[in-house]
Structure 1
């Protein structure tokens, strides 16, 4: 049994020669925070995920959220040739259709369950092994290099030739969003602009645009297998990716914690060729990226219409973490040449 297919989904499936009669299951999925997800199971056993943008004109989105499906398609294509990295395979990408066609991605479904749903079932030794496995996967992804810096959908204009230029555009945009939505922040926007500018010189150390997912919390990591033999079966939802500093990846991997304490992950990362030496300048860059992600978390509470409880949780965690990261940037900037 399946519900009737929406027109954009039917169009996307028709593009790969699949009709409504070929579909035995069509189920909306929860858990996404922006785009709409649908699981499609075909009579021949193939299992696909169809992703479409939210309805509306995008006026309630943050500036960087322009054309997120394009970013996700770039991520999976870039990662597809990387060995030992479990990402969905793109089946079809409809990104440039003329209205009334709606952009859509069709991709294979990775097996398994989100890590946070099974984490309580993991023995300490298995969790240790999985964190090391994750470190290796992330290091291999970071070895992929792009042609320019920033978001691939170019939400702020032409591609940036330097990471400093790209990240300055990114932070400027989220602070503009904060003003546009009158978001509650622990520091005035003007102060935060000065903080980012005071440390911008450290960004010049980044000269290679690496593939960065930037949303590797446990909900975007799938785990599959029998107890004691589980593996990471999927790295999904690459829609917020950018080409930039691989150090930025460590923020979502240890969202309100310190990645330097995650020795299991860092060991796997180093063994697979990742560079994870935490010098003063690396720590400064890491705190800049923490500021950026915490700002996104705080600002997006407004256009997404968070409940009072959700806003309180975000303010308690992201607000206090932003204050701490901003303080660390200010202290480091004072001592920098």
Structure 2
């Protein structure tokens, strides 16, 4: 008799059986991911996560083969003091499924956006202090060159950063979104390559380190990080170009300020100027995501943010 999973998702159940040698008892789509399609896979002996990339023809150039990059990043992680995914099987050949796929062991805990609201707001400060510690541990790992973990690699941070930003801007243009503001940021960045090249040590950056990619202990009396996942956007970079630093800075005067207690920012004027460029880069990524998810207010907010960056850079 076939399992309920086979009845609901026959092709995926067959994939699991062929890849893992065992038909799943349950296959449940997981919410929260905005890029890959993710399932909780319950087997008789264990539980896994199946992550399936979008079809290659639907991937933006700046997001090409993110699942491959994330898998490469897991192989070079330092000790973070919390759990990270363990790859059980990765297949990028297209022989088992038309798209890239990865089976991973489950990271313990429950998603931070689910658990945090159960705690008093004052306790959230402890969570953000822990997140700063995770970021600091991650950024302690140095690499051979700048750029995505799976390549391409660049000798200079200016080349890696500006190439990445240009790819995002090109993708925005390809879907008909205005890019005049970001073109201006790129032009300024090209004129200030020496500013970026003051960063000479490539450090491992998660690229999307924030609440949606963090697991918490659901039974702890206060927020306790148990794991971090989704390293698909990981790269060797200036550690100040980390998503968590950008997000922590967006609501000053709140519990997010505790992040800086364990991860103090570089106070130099040069670092502050580089952070302006990184803010524009993040706003470009948000604009692309807003287009994909049809969020017009987020599109306009991205324009406002880049406008403020340009004003700061031109002072």
- State the TM-score bracket (shorter-chain normalisation): 0.7 to 0.9
- Per the alignment, residue 335 of structure 1 pairs with none
- Per the alignment, residue 334 of structure 1 pairs with none
SS of the aligned residue for 1:193 comes to helix
Distance change in 2, residues 1:51/1:91 (3 Å): same
- Per the alignment, residue 213 of structure 2 pairs with 220
Q: Distance in 2 between matches of 1:43 and 1:140?
A: 36
SS of the aligned residue for 2:21 comes to coil
Q: Distance in 2 between matches of 1:255 and 1:318?
A: 16
User: Residue 296 of structure 2: which of 275, 297, 311 is its match?
Assistant: 311
1:20-72 Cα shifts (integer Å, max 9, x gaps): 1xx2211111221111101101112x2211101123x42x4321211111111
Root mean square deviation of aligned Cα: 2.6
User: Residue 90 of structure 1: which of 87, 92, 103 is its match?
Assistant: 87
- Gaps of at least 5 residues in structure 2 are none
- Per the alignment, residue 39 of structure 1 pairs with 40
Distance change in 2, residues 1:35/1:329 (3 Å): same
Distance change in 2, residues 1:100/1:30 (3 Å): closer
Q: Distance in 2 between matches of 1:13 and 1:74?
A: 25
CA apart distance, 1:95: 2.2
CA apart distance, 1:277: 2.6
Distance change in 2, residues 1:301/1:135 (3 Å): closer
Check whether the contact 2:62–2:171 (CA below 8 A) recurs between aligned residues.
Answer: no
Distance change in 2, residues 1:190/1:140 (3 Å): closer
Q: TM-score, normalised by structure 1?
A: 0.82
**Aligned residue runs from structure 1 range 1-337, under 5 A:** 2-4=4-6, 7=11, 10-11=14-15, 14-15=18-19, 17-20=20-23, 23-44=24-45, 46-55=46-55, 57-58=56-57, 60-79=58-77, 81-97=78-94, 101-154=98-151, 158-185=152-179, 187-249=180-242, 250-254=244-248, 256-257=250-251, 262-269=256-263, 276-302=265-291, 304=292, 306-307=293-294, 310-312=295-297, 314-331=298-315
Moved more, 163-172 or 192-201: 192-201
SS of the aligned residue for 1:49 comes to strand
CA apart distance, 1:175: 1.7
CA apart distance, 1:246: 0.6
Q: TM-score, normalised by structure 2?
A: 0.87
Check whether the contact 2:91–2:102 (CA below 8 A) recurs between aligned residues.
Answer: yes
1:270-321 Cα shifts (integer Å, max 9, x gaps): 6xxxxx332111111111111011012113444x2x33xx222x12432222
Distance change in 2, residues 1:277/1:100 (3 Å): closer
